[in-house]
Amino acid sequence: MVKTEKKTEITTEVEYGETGMEFTLSHEGFSTMLKEIVEEMVKTMETSLRVAALVEDAAVRPAKSANIKKLIDRSEEFQSTKEAIDKKLASDFELCQKYADETFSGLREVMDFIKSWNIEEFKARHGDSVTEAKNLLEQLETWRQKTKFLEQKRS
């Protein structure tokens, strides 16, 4: 019998929010998801006959069924591991927020332009003005230079 491994992937993206850079899945959202995963893990352990049998044999005799959840929740090692994961997650989100702010905040005008620019509006407003077209191309070149580092990071 081949058992397939269940894989869980949690991701987030950075976007421009009202007040600055925001994650599509916040630190709180990640924490909630991790807590749900841990709760599912504990439930799985609780229903495992092998674990229940080991616990009953070793520690909980005469009880008819071991309370695996209580044993896990009372475990100092389990609690300290959960705390370490929470601290690491908070620290990682702080670093990610700092990186996102430093890297992308200054590029908001580029993203706003990309979202809103319309060639028909440009033509209606400026017609065939070579000066306006030149100004636009110069602005685009300035932004291209400003965003060059992003291309370098990809390779």
Whole-number pLDDT of residue 109: 85
Whole-number pLDDT of residue 84: 96
Q: Which residue has the tokens 């992003």?
A: 150
Whole-number pLDDT of residue 62: 44
Q: In this structure, what are the phi and psi dihedrals at residue 8, rounded to the nearest 5 degrees?
A: -120, 130
Whole-number pLDDT of residue 113: 87
Whole-number pLDDT of residue 87: 95
**Average pLDDT per 10 consecutive residues for the chain, totaling 155 residues:** 66 85 91 90 76 55 62 90 94 93 85 85 85 88 81 63
Whole-number pLDDT of residue 57: 54
- b vs e for 66-103, b when ≥16 Cβ sit within 10 Å of the residue's Cβ? bebeebbeeeeeeeeeeeeeeeeeeeebeeebeebeee
Other C-beta atoms lying within 10 Å of the C-beta of residue 52: 17
